[in-house]
A and B are shown apart, each in its own frame.
Chain A
């Protein structure tokens, strides 16, 4: 998956590129709007991450040019100002998502994966999600581990579903709050911690392999831990 980052702040841009590369993407960096537009037109990117405030051409203009030339790759824009007009403008111009600076890298990565997954379509969904010996049956709303039934509340089920669908991805607390509880603002993160602890108690307690892990400073991930 190729991602183009258009960001004029060199440090931010460089770290974004490194982060995305290490997360398994091929990421290129452009520092100005016109460079970004040039690369985007010729580089066959799957996603463009676009800063709004850019020298030469600003993010809006780049986005508008791309869309005018019929390039429909998803665009995620970064803005320093959390203004409703900015958001509306970006979405009207055909952006797919936005993030307000300062944002956490985990959040960006999660959004990037969401957008790219959306592009591929959810075709490979089956009715049963499986990670190691943990099984989640979407139709019957049942969860088993090692064949043993686990009783979950509706929200715990939703939380586990999210973690399993995106296994191996570190999910930041804010994304979890927004996806599971529809809390689209900076809410009390303590709540996520408590909910996670309770879920973990039901899923991992007494099991030799702990599937749900906390990544300090970033969020939570569900995966089969690698041997150290």
Chain B
């Protein structure tokens, strides 16, 4: 249930509970102390009277004398009652208005203090003491003396006190609840500030905007983390928009080519062969577009980091040789020597690995000069299995190297639409595949050799 309450309500509730337990605890302690104090007071009053009666017993010389002296000494004390009885139970003396309980508890002890409530007289309350003592004139028969003290005014006092206290306690608890609410509400102001900032975040306004300086230390961390999250989101969002605009840009040229071509063809009647030619050209263009769309989708899916569909362990060199078979004709054609060296196992998706390596090979074959060399090397390294492809060729400008993996990036802008080239997505796809395997890809280019290297980490087991 607590989970549903807002933070403010929850803290206010806790605050109120704490205040209530403190106030009520103190009150209870105080009431108990007052009660105990009254008992002590009563005991000492009764003790005084007992001494007085003891003295009278010691000095009275007859029952008559005793009675007279007791009445002198005790009759005018408001709220104090005494009775003296013989062992046979006959009352020798009794003050006026002596409460007649149904039965006095007859104590075995010399002194006893206890409280009785007499129901038949309303809420009368007495504290009594009963003891035995010998009269000087008749030592052989001890008398039973009962003292009673009306304590109703104590009760009234305590009741008053309780009432006053209850009112005070209620007020105090309410006040502290209110104060607690106020404290929490204002204490949480930074949280609301963060919320307000967060509410202002939109796709267009993703800049980091949490007020790290303006919030208390405990929340600065949170604000910092949120800012980092926003930065990452902004980065992703920027990439996404670039992706969309790249895509639109890449689609625009072929579509406008086809449109122009088709409309020009339709403008005047032509030979059948001309129509056939234009349709074939359109089909080629459309195939390229379809492939680009498929590549983009593959890239988006792989970059999104879905689980590898078919994970298995395979030998990298076997896959490389299968690709060699495929590229053999092209290499032969350009008189390029294509070799595979070393071996190592990779845990991952075989088809995706083939695709990654195929892109690197196709790239290397395209850039290696006739009579050159393209080499696949597989090696087990501490960080994982490294598969590298190097080719002879002109050095690539170091500034351009990191951009090679960007979508649609082409080192040579003049070759923006070559037939053999893909859409400029090959290396981006390779990178995405390597990263989906948790690996790293890098490229170096120096002294006439360009080398792409993929490192696939060893599996955890």
Taking beta carbons and an 8 Å cutoff, which residues of A are in contact with B? 82, 84, 100, 102-104, 153, 155, 177, 181-188, 190-191, 194-195, 197-198, 216-218
Contact = CB atoms under 8 A, between A and B. Distances in A.
Contact of A182 (B287, B309, B322): B322
Given A82-B297, A82-B298, A191 B330 contact: yes
B420 interface: yes
Given A102-B293, A190-B420, A194-B330, A84 B309 contact: yes
Nearest to A159: B329
A194 B279 contact: no
Contact of B294 (A155, A186, A188, A194): A186
B422 A188 contact: yes
B193 interface: no
Given A181-B326, A194-B330, 16 more contacts: A102-B293, A155-B325, A181-B325, A185-B354, A185-B355, A186-B294, A186-B295, A188-B358, A188-B362, A191-B326, A191-B329, A191-B330, A195-B330, A197-B333, A216-B277, A217-B280
Given A84-B309, A102-B293, A217 B287 contact: yes
Interface in B113-132: none
A144 B297 CA distance: 45
Give the interface centre of A104, A187, A198 by most chain B CB atoms within 10 Å. A187
29 contacts: A82-B294, A102-B290, A102-B293, A102-B294, A104-B290, A153-B328, A155-B325, A155-B329, A182-B322, A184-B351, A186-B291, A186-B295, A187-B362, A188-B330, A188-B420, A188-B422, A190-B330, A190-B420, A191-B330, A191-B362, A194-B333, A195-B329, A197-B333, A198-B329, A216-B281, A217-B279, A217-B280, A217-B283, A217-B284
Contacts of A188: 327, 330, 358, 362, 420, 422
A103 B297 CA distance: 14
B282 A217 contact: yes
B283 A218 contact: yes
A143 to B, nearest CB: 17
A154 B267 CA distance: 50
Contacts of A190: 330, 362, 419-420
Q: Is the interface of B mostly helix, strand, loop or mixed?
A: helix
A218 B279 CA distance: 11
B112 to A, nearest CB: 90
A216 B298 CA distance: 27
A183 B354 contact: yes
A198 B290 contact: no
Interface in B425-451: none
B294 A100 contact: yes
B294 A187 contact: no
A179 to B, nearest CB: 12
A217 B287 CA distance: 8
Considering the complex of A and B, which 5 residue pairs feature the smallest CB-CB distances, nearest first? A217-B283, A216-B280, A217-B280, A190-B420, A188-B362
Q: Is the interface of A mostly helix, strand, loop or mixed?
A: loop
Nearest to A102: B290
B281 A217 contact: yes
A188 B240 CA distance: 27
A188 B293 CA distance: 15
A58 B150 CA distance: 96
Nearest to B301: A82
B309 A194 contact: no
Given A188-B420, A217-B280, A183 B358 contact: yes
Nearest to A82: B297
Give the interface centre of B283, B297, B351 by most chain A CB atoms within 10 Å. B283
B284 A187 contact: no
B284 A216 contact: yes
A197 B329 CA distance: 10
Interface string B325-361: 1111110110000000000000000010011001000
Nearest to A215: B280
A184 B325 CA distance: 14
A197 B334 CA distance: 13
Interface in B262-317: 277, 279-284, 287, 290-291, 293-295, 297-298, 301, 309
Contacts of A218: 280, 283
A133 B119 CA distance: 134
B420 A104 contact: no
Nearest to A154: B325
Interface in B69-109: none
A187 B325 contact: no
Contacts of A84: 309
Nearest to B290: A102
A153 B295 CA distance: 32
Contacts of A197: 333
Nearest to A155: B325
B329 to A, nearest CB: 4
B351 A185 contact: yes
Nearest to B330: A194
Interface in B135-168: none
Contacts of A100: 294
Contacts of B284: 216-217
Contacts of A186: 291, 294-295
A173 B287 CA distance: 11
Given A104-B287, A183-B358, A217-B282, A155 B328 contact: yes
A155 B331 CA distance: 14
A81 B240 CA distance: 20
B224 to A, nearest CB: 38
Give the interface centre of A104, A153, A217 by most chain B CB atoms within 10 Å. A217
A216 B362 CA distance: 23
A202 to B, nearest CB: 12
A194 B294 CA distance: 23
Contacts of B294: 82, 100, 102, 186
